[in-house]
Amino acid sequence: MSAIVTIQDVVKEYNLGATVVQALRGVSLTVDKGEFISIAGPSGSGKTTLLNLIGCVDTATRGRVEVAGKNTAELSERELTDLRLNTIGFIFQSFNLVSVLTVFQNVEFPLLLQNKLNAKERKARVEALLEQVGLLTHQKHRPNELSGGQRQRVAIARALVTDPLIVLADEPTANLDSETGQAILDLMKSLNQQKGTTFIFSTHDHRVMRYANAVVRLADGKVLGRESPEDAVAHAMGLETPKHAEVRTP
Amino acid sequence: MDRVVLLVRMAIRNLLASPINLLIGGLILFGTLVFVILGGLLDSLNQSMQRSVVGSLAGHIQIYSSASKDELTLYGQMGSDPDLKAITDFPRIEEALSKVENVKMVVPMGVSGALITSGNIVDTTLEKLRDLYKARDGKPSPPKLAALPRDELDRRIVSETSHMRQIIKVLRGDAEKAMTDMLNGTAVDPYNLEALRRVEHDEFWADFEKDPYANLEFLENRIAPIVTDTSMVFLRYVGTDLDKFEQSFDRMRVIKGTPVPRGHRGFLIADLIHEEQMKLKTARRLDKIKDARANGRLIATDDELKRFVKENRLQTRELVLQLDGIKTQALTKSLQDALGSKETAIGPLLSELMTTTDENFDQRYQQFYGLVVPQVQLYRVNVGDMLTIKAFTKSGYIQNVNVKVYGTFAFTGLEKSPLAGSTSLMDLMSFRDLYGYLTADKAEELKEIQKQTGAKTISRENAEDELFGEGAEVVAEATAGVIDPDTAMSGAGRKLREEDLVRRVYTEHEFNDGVVLNAALMLNDPTRLDETLARISKLSDEQNLGIKAISWQKASGLLGQIINVFRALLFVAVAIIFFIAMVIINNAMMMATIQRTQVIGTMRAIGAQRGLILSMVLVESMVLGLLFGGLGMLAGSGVLGAIAAKGIAAPNDVMYFFFSGPRLIPHVTGAPLIIALVIILFVTVFSTLLPAVMATRISPLRAMQADE
């Protein structure tokens, strides 16, 4: 398996007035194609910052971030935007759908930005994805007419419509009840298995970690280790570290 | 394309989402509505005024000497005429201008004004009497009278004498009234009173025949000056080639009389002046009451009409003064019959006739025109009269010109407009005479005098030699002239020359060959006015014509600027409305951008470039502007259309000129719509620029941070 994301010794600092806050302190991480990986850790551990760097919406203060073979530090603002459009799909904690567009239009939006397909092809693509997420009959609805789970499914369809290499999901189930959250994770997992799309999602919920192939645990801006979901859950629940813990450091 | 559709769709949905957009839209709609309606009205007004100005006097372009002190203003400026330098080589200029493409006709002109006076009623009555006596005594007199039999002359003398006595009676009445009014500060000259007393007595008239000429002289010297109502009318006139004028200004039509025959000297009075200032005041007031009643006004309720009736009732003096004995008798009788009155004095009878109400007006109007008018002179100047015009020449001395009135004229649609109807027309020859320029006739006359007197022209350099040098011929012995007063001084000789001038026919060359002050140019295609102006300026420079060409708008002076002033006011008003809209749009879009930070951040995160965000915000306000602006344009055009269906009636006579007729029919013109569109686009884009740029600065990070 080849690496789709490579992060080496990345430091991310924020200036808060006179003080400099280090959100990430020398993080290194490799994600392979087709992985369904979870980034876990308590609030303020740097999960979102790490996702931002992988999602090319932010750049590292130091260190190297390589996404789909491209060093993000060397890309212009415009090129970063193109990289996001063509390589990465985003799923947000609070869904972030455009409220004035219908379900169909929300999903179609990235395709319009890409400007590669004609209207007919776009329609076919959007409808196929809506069918997969089970919302074909809701395509004319506006986001505010949907439940939270339905909205997140629309967001998943939108993230996948461009056939991205990586899908980033920031706490995708945080705003959902556990049942709906489970359904969303099932959906993501099945899409990962069908299409081989790499999924990277952050969570602090041990129930969610269980779905991952591997869990990268973060604390205080540092990677504590890359573990199996079971170990990670045990860690999260304050249990002893299992013996087969695997820490991979480059 | 699909992206644009999406942006527009998003814009519409975003707009509907916020009520403040309705307020902004309402402002834009209102501003556009005002602009389209008022802009359309002003455009229509401008066009109708152009028709008025161009069609009544100015033509499309006016030219005048570039060496003039003042700028040409056809309607005068601050009451005085501009000081224009005369164009002396008009034929050359005309020829050059006629060759300019798009120039249809060149009409030579000169605008000026003069007071004309018609002698007072005592003067004219006395002149009539004198002529009658002369005819009776076989002295030189007008041919018409000389041919009358003796008994007819006697009858007329009696009638005129009684007319004179009637006038004296009226004057005596005035004097007595003045005496009783003395407390009010009106004084009566005892010298005048004494004269009046003398001529009032039967004694004076019994002895009148003994020495009629001496008695006439007494009346002329002592009584005539007491009458102060010498009528003076200020006439503004254009000296022009009347034939060309008629051809070029096709709205001109002759109302009374005939056009001046081709190539003749002659005068055409503006019909409005003829009606307003030369008609009997009583008759004019009756006409006005009739007009007003036809427009639904009533004497019973209208203050102005009430005033007219009162003035007509009280001011019968003007009528009585005109009546001689025979006429007084005839009119008294017919008025007694018509009114069923037993009153024997003519004054009270006329007062009774003039006591008009809404019920009896039509009948009284007919009685006035049927019974009174045939006995009096309805107009002070009639078609066929010889008009004596006195004017100051350029060099400051007074020049008299006699010119025959052939008729009156008006411009179709502008009959009631004081602006278009205040300028009369005169032939160029008479104009040049009045203005003190050498005309063909004058030159001929001078030559004749030179020949008769043996005078010769000497140059300034040789003057001394010629006058005082040896063998000087120039100085001759002066001999006392013998003047025959009957032939040289009084009318007969002058009349002959007058008649000769009236009959004389001039060629076009003669009309052209002399000074003119300005000229009107008619164009084939008026829309190419600016281009033609430029071409004429160039031509003037190239051929050294020394002329300046200006548009009708400039030539009409302040009048032409009125529309521009209104337009400026409109722009200021609309600018204020749109400025307010701009401020509100700016604020609203700022707020909207802040509120949509997460959405915009999300869009950026999933791959929207900054340009798309910029266009999203701009499209949104442009859609707002175009949507409501479009509605405003539609509504404005609708309102204009509705107004056009009926037209706007001219509220007063002055507006006739601006409306180019009794009604203004506005039409939707392209210009205000296009300007409105440009303004809307500018306002919306400009006011959204800052929020739009701000929106592009929103980081995709905001998508992630929003709800943390």
Contact A98 B603 (CB under 8 A): yes
pLDDT at A161: 92
Chain B residues inside the 8 Å CB shell of A156:
none
Alpha helices in B513-650 (DSSP H): 529-543, 552-555, 558-595, 597-605, 610-646
B578–chain A nearest CA distance, Å: 28
How far is the C-alpha of B405 from the C-alpha of B268, rounded, in Å? 6
Euclidean distance between CA atoms B64 and B196, whole angstroms: 55
Q: Which of B188, B196, B127 is nearest to B168 (CA)?
A: B196
Q: Do B599 and A101 touch (CB under 8 A)?
A: no
The residue segments making up the domain with residue A180 are 3-236
**Residue A89 with chain B: CB contacts under 8 Å:** 606
> A113–B2: do the CB atoms touch at under 8 Å?
no
The sign one gets for the Cα dihedral B330, B335, B337, B340 is negative
Res B492: pLDDT? 42
Helix axes B597-605, B610-646, angle to 10 degrees: 130
The three-class DSSP label of residue B664 is strand
Residues B354 and B285 in one domain: yes
> Quick check: A113 and B606 CB within 8 A?
yes
> Does B181 share its domain with B317?
no
Q: At what angle do helices B428-435 and B440-453 cross, to 10 degrees?
A: 60
pTM of the model: 0.66
CA distance A84 to chain B (A): 5
Report strand pairing: B518-523 vs A222-227. unpaired
Rg (alpha carbons) of chain A, rounded to whole number: 18
DSSP labels, B367-422: HIIIIIGGGS-SBSS-TTPEEEEEEE-TTS-EEEEEEEEEEEEEETT-TT-TTGGG
SS3 assignment for A21-86: EEEEEEEEEEEECCCEEEEECCCCCCHHHHHHHHCCCCCCCEEEEEECCEEHHHCCHHHHHHHHHH
Q: Are residues B108 and B169 in the same domain?
A: no
| Residue B306 vs residues B256, B292, B309, B372, B670: alpha-carbon distances, Å | 30, 12, 5, 22, 47
* Domain presence at residue A241: no
Instruction: Kindly state whether A78 is in contact with chain B, defined as any CB-CB distance less than 8 angstroms.
Output: yes
Host H or E run for residue B313: helix B303-314
User: Could you tell me which residues come within 8 angstroms of residue A174 by beta carbon, excluding any fewer than 6 positions away?
Assistant: A93, A203, A205
| Whether residues B185 and B304 fall in one domain | no
Classify residue B526: in a domain, yes or no.
yes
Tens of pLDDT, residue by residue over A144-158, are 999 988 998 899 899
Could you list the mean pLDDT of each consecutive 10-residue stretch along chain A, which spans 250 residues?
88 89 91 92 88 91 92 92 93 88 93 90 93 90 91 90 91 82 85 89 85 90 86 71 44
| B69 contacts: CB under 8 Å, gap ≥ 6 | B82, B83, B84, B85
Residue of B nearest to A105 (CA): B6
Domain assignment of residue A242, yes or no: no
**Can you give the pLDDT at residue A138?**
93
Is B472 inside a domain boundary? Answer: no
Which one of A57, A81, A89 has the shortest CB-CB distance to B704?
A57
Task: Tell whether A180 is covered by a domain.
Answer: yes
Shared domain for B220 and B240, answered yes or no, is no
Q: What is the CATH number of the domain that holds A114?
A: 3.40.50.300
pLDDT score, position A243: 45
From chain B, pick out residues whose CB is under 8 angstroms from the CB of A98: 10, 599, 602-603
A90 within 8 A of B606, measured Cβ to Cβ: yes
Residues B679 and B571 reside in one and the same domain: yes
Q: Is residue B535 one of the residues assigned to a domain?
A: yes
Q: What is residue B215's predicted lDDT score, i.e. its pLDDT?
A: 87
Residue B253: partners with Cβ closer than 8 Å, 6 or more residues away: B409, B410, B411, B412
> What distance in Å separates the CA atoms of residue B47 and residue B54, rounded to the nearest whole number?
10
Name the amino acid, one letter, at A226: R
Q: Decide if A14 is inside a domain.
A: yes
- Classify residue A130: in a domain, yes or no: yes
Distant-in-sequence, close-in-space partners of B164: CB < 8 Å, separation ≥ 6: B122, B125, B126, B129, B219
Which pLDDT tens digit goes with each residue over A11-65?
Answer: 999 888 889 888 999 999 999 999 999 998 888 888 889 999 999 988 899 999 9
Residue A90 sits at the chain B interface (C-beta within 8 Å): yes
Range of the domain at B390: 67-117+232-265+384-412+425-457+490-545
Of B17, B605, B609, the CB nearest to A100: B17
Q: List all residues 6 or more positions away from B654 whose beta carbon is below 8 Å from its beta carbon.
A: B417, B418, B419
Each residue of B501-540: pLDDT tens digit?
Answer: 667 777 777 777 778 888 999 999 888 889 999 999 998 8
Residue in the structure block whose two tokens are 């600092």: A13
CA distance B108 to B244: 9
Alpha-carbon gap: A130 to the closest alpha carbon of chain B (Å): 18
CB B97 within 8 A of CB B106: yes
B598 CB neighbours in chain A (<8 A) are: 96
> Can you say how many angstroms the Cα of residue A150 is from the centroid of all Cα atoms in its chain?
18
CB atoms within 10 A of CB B583: 11
The residue in chain A having the minimum alpha-carbon distance to the alpha carbon of residue B606 is A85
Residues B105 and B247 in one domain: yes
Same domain, B147 and B173: yes
Domain count, chain B: 4
Across the interface, whether the CB atoms of B707 and A93 are under 8 A apart is answered: yes
Beta strand pairing status for A166-170 and A88-91? parallel
Contact between B703 and A96 using a beta-carbon 8 Å cutoff: yes
Measured in whole angstroms, the distance separating CA A197 from the mean position of its chain's CA atoms is 11
Residues within 8 A of B (CB atoms), A 136-195 only: 158-159, 162, 170, 175
Q: Are residues B6 and B148 in the same domain?
A: no
Residue B364 lies in a domain: yes
d(CA B527, CA B538): 19
Q: Is B440 found in the same domain as B400?
A: yes
pLDDT of residue B185: 54
Question: In total, how many domains does chain A have?
Answer: 1
Does residue B46 sit in the same domain as residue B74? no
| Confidence at residue B288, expressed as pLDDT on a 0 to 100 scale | 92
Whether residues B657 and B583 fall in one domain: yes
Per-residue model confidence (pLDDT) at position B488: 40
Secondary structure (3-state) at A164:
coil
Q: Where do the DSSP E strands lie in chain A?
A: 3-16, 19-32, 36-40, 62-67, 70-71, 88-91, 166-170, 198-203, 214-219, 222-227
- Are B603 and A170 inside 8 Å of each other by CB? no
Residues of A within 8 A of B1 (CB-CB) are none
What pLDDT does B201 receive? 84
Q: What is the rounded distance in angstroms from the CA atom of residue B270 to the CA atom of residue B274?
A: 6
Q: Looking at the domain assignment, is residue B273 inside a domain? A: no
B240 backbone dihedrals φ, ψ, rounded to 5°: -155, 170
How far, in Å, CA of B532 to CA of B523, rounded?
Answer: 9
Nearest-angstrom CA–CA distance, B477 and B610: 107
* Segments of chain B scoring below 50 in pLDDT: 474, 476-496, 706-708
- Identity of the residue in B6, B598, B604 whose CB atom sits nearest the CB atom of A112: B6
Asked if A76 reaches chain B (Cβ–Cβ under 8 Å), the answer is: no
List, as one string, the DSSP characters of B684-705.
HHHHHHHHHHHHHT--THHHHH
| In-domain check, residue A144 | yes
pLDDT tens profile B109-133: 888 877 776 666 777 788 888 889 9
- Read off the tokens for B489: 């001084």
Burial class of B484 by CB neighbour count within 10 A (0 to 12, 13 to 18, 19+): exposed
Categorise residue B538: left if φ over 0, alpha if ψ from -120 to 50, beta otherwise.
alpha
Asked if A51 reaches chain B (Cβ–Cβ under 8 Å), the answer is yes
Q: pLDDT exceeding 90 applies to what percent of chain B?
A: 14
- Long-range CB pairs of A204-207, under 8 A, 24+ apart, other chains included: A204/A40, A204/A41, A204/A42, A204/A43, A204/A47, A204/A171, A204/A236, A205/A173, A205/A174, A205/A181, A206/A232, A206/A233, A206/A236, A206/A237, A207/A178, A207/A181, A207/A182
Within-domain flag for B674? yes
Q: How many CB atoms lie within 10 A of CB B505?
A: 10
